[in-house]
Amino acid sequence: MPELYIDGDACPVKEEALKVALRHNMRTHLVSNQWLRVTEIPTLNRVVVTDGFDAADNWIAENIKAGDIAITSDIPLAARCLEKDATVLGPTGKPFHKEGIGMALAMRDLMSHLRDTGEVSGHNASFTKQDRSRFLSALETAVQQAKRR
C-alpha cells in the first residue's frame, strides 16, 4: 500500500489530502516545522522536525519510497522524490514528472535571480476552489494508480 507524504508547512490542501487518505486507509505523514492543527485520522503520523533549513524536505526525501505519493510545491523536494520513483503532486493537482523537473528547477532558479535583481516583482496567483477540486481529483487518480502497481 502506498504511503502519503505531505510537505505541511505551506500546504493549502492538507485537509483534502487527509480526506482522501482516510477513504483509502493510507498511512499519511504530515511533515512540518511546527505542530499543525488538522483533522485527526487513525493513519496519521505527525512529524515535527527541527527548525533547520529544509529539515522537513530532508525528512520526506529520506523516508519516501518508490510507489509512495508526495504533496509539495517545493520543486527541489519534488525532484528528490521523483528520483526515488514516487508520485509527486503540487497543491493545485499538477503532477511533477521526471521529464520536466529539470526545466522546472531551471525556471525556479531563473525567477529567483530575477526577483533578487528587481527585474520581476509580484506574487503567486491566489489559490482557487477550482485548484482545490483539481487537486482532489488528481490525488484520487494518483492513489488509484499507486494501488494498482
Q: Where do we find the cell 525528512?
A: 59
Cα gap 117→119, rounded to integer Å: 6
Parent domain of 128 = 4-148
The Cα angle at residue 103 between residues 111 and 17, in degrees rounded to 5: 85
**Starting from the edge strand earliest in sequence, which strands make up the sheet with 44-48, in order?**
44-48, 28-32, 4-7, 69-71, 87-89, 95-96
Determine the 3-state secondary structure of 40 from DSSP: coil
Per-residue pLDDT of the chain (149 residues; tens, 9 = 90+): 899 999 998 899 999 999 999 999 999 999 999 999 999 999 999 999 987 878 999 999 999 999 999 999 888 999 999 999 999 999 999 898 877 665 655 655 655 656 667 776 666 668 789 999 999 999 999 999 999 88
* Count of domains for the chain: 1
Q: How many CB atoms lie within 10 A of CB 91?
A: 23
Contact 77, 61 (CB under 8 A): yes
Q: Which of 87, 80, 96 is nearest to 66 (CA)?
A: 87
- 69 alpha carbon, distance to own chain's centre: 8
Q: What is the CATH number of the domain that holds 31?
A: 3.40.50
Task: Give pTM, 2 decimals.
Answer: 0.84
Backbone φ and ψ for 44, nearest 5 degrees, come out as: -85, 130
In this structure, are residues 64 and 82 in contact, taking their beta carbons and an 8 Å threshold? no
CA 66 to CA 69: how far, in whole Å? 9
pLDDT of residue 111: 56
